Amino acid sequence: MSLSFFFDQGLENLLRAHVQAFCEFQGSARIILYDNMKQVVLRRRGEDIEFHPRLLELAAHYHFAPRPCNPGRGNEKGRVERAIQFIRSSFFAARPFTTLEDFNRQAREWRDQIAHRRRWPEDDSRTVEDAFREEQPRLLPLPVHAFDADLVLTAVSRKRIYVRFDLNDYSIPPDGIGHQLTLQISPTRVRILQGTATIAEHRRSWDRHQVIEDPAHRQKLLEEKRRAMGSSPSGRLRLAVPESETLLDEAFRRGESIGRSTTQLIQLLDDYGADALRAAIRLALERETPRVSSIAWLLQQRRRSEKLRMTRPVDLDRRPDLAHLHVQPHNSDVYDELSEPDQE
């Protein structure tokens, strides 16, 4: 008996249960009888049966013939139903467990110690394990490679750095936004591929409405946004002086023009630098005078108090002769002598 439990009864786990069973049996059966579940039979009209394509791939890989039960023929699967009833009453009853792995570990122990040692219904002189050992050589040999039962889906992330699978969001690098992606899902991992390259890999969540994120993906998105912001004058202002956003919000509430105020702040940034502008904005906000004219006055006062001369960039369009200007430096001792008083 092969005994494994899964989180759901989807096609992915149905295929994986076959692979695990064939591996434990060390062979596959020639004919496998199925109930008419949707993971096996897509449509049926009398003897005209359309199997699920993935099940047919599995059957071709292991060379077995799938055969569905006839509707309403309970006698065709009675032995299977009795085995399920035995598992429910002997194994499930009041059994505690912590994880799915722990549950499957207990199931294998119960199978080896109890289920396999019970008497074979058709011959009391043998156990279930004895009957299996006699029949095992008649199974079909296994192929060299096991069937790949991982679920494969396509996905596209239009605007966000996430793709959704099973009501959970998995992050991707910003480069993957807007491209056709492939999801390869195992019981424990979710791989996301762009073409043949793996661009992200996450642990699989069996919960719902979870966000599974790689911090590097969010960091890369923030860096790209910062570069985009820095490519425009207003973005450069926000990056250099984040306090300017608060100032502009307050100025807007007082009826100031955002466009004109932004232009004036950018000019002040070029004239005085980010540190001085940041300090002036903080002071203006503390004094509740959030106007660009107040910022300019504070900067001018600071410049006067420090007795500094404001340097402006040279407009080379007006003075092209200064583009290649070279000033010959002199020995600093000469300047020291000029500053000393005359001595006889």
Each residue's pLDDT expressed in tens, for the chain with a length of 344 residues: 678 888 888 888 999 999 999 999 999 999 998 888 888 999 988 778 999 999 999 999 999 999 988 776 655 666 667 778 888 888 888 889 888 889 999 999 999 898 888 888 788 889 988 888 989 999 999 999 999 999 999 999 888 899 999 999 999 999 999 999 999 999 899 999 999 999 999 999 989 999 999 999 988 887 777 666 555 777 778 888 888 888 888 887 777 887 888 888 888 988 888 889 999 999 988 988 888 889 999 998 888 877 655 556 777 777 777 777 777 776 766 666 666 666 55
Neighbours of 174 (CB within 10 A): 18
DSSP state of 30: S
Adjacent-strand bridge partners of 34: 68
Give the HSE-up count for residue 321: Cα atoms under 13 Å, Cβ half-sphere. Answer: 0
Tell me if residue 185 falls in helix, strand or coil. Answer: strand
pLDDT at 52: 93
What's the CA gap between 328 and 32, in Å, rounded? Answer: 95
Tally of CB atoms within 10 A around 301: 11
Taken in order 283, 288, 289, 292, the sign of the CA dihedral is positive
Whole-angstrom distance, CA of residue 276 vs CA of residue 298: 10
Angle between helices 274-286 and 243-253 (to 10 degrees): 40
Cα 247 off chain centre by: 37
- Residue 300 exposed, middle or buried by CB count within 10 Å (0-12, 13-18, 19+): middle
Nearest one of 250, 255, 337 to 295, comparing CA atoms: 250
pTM greater than the 0.85 cutoff: no
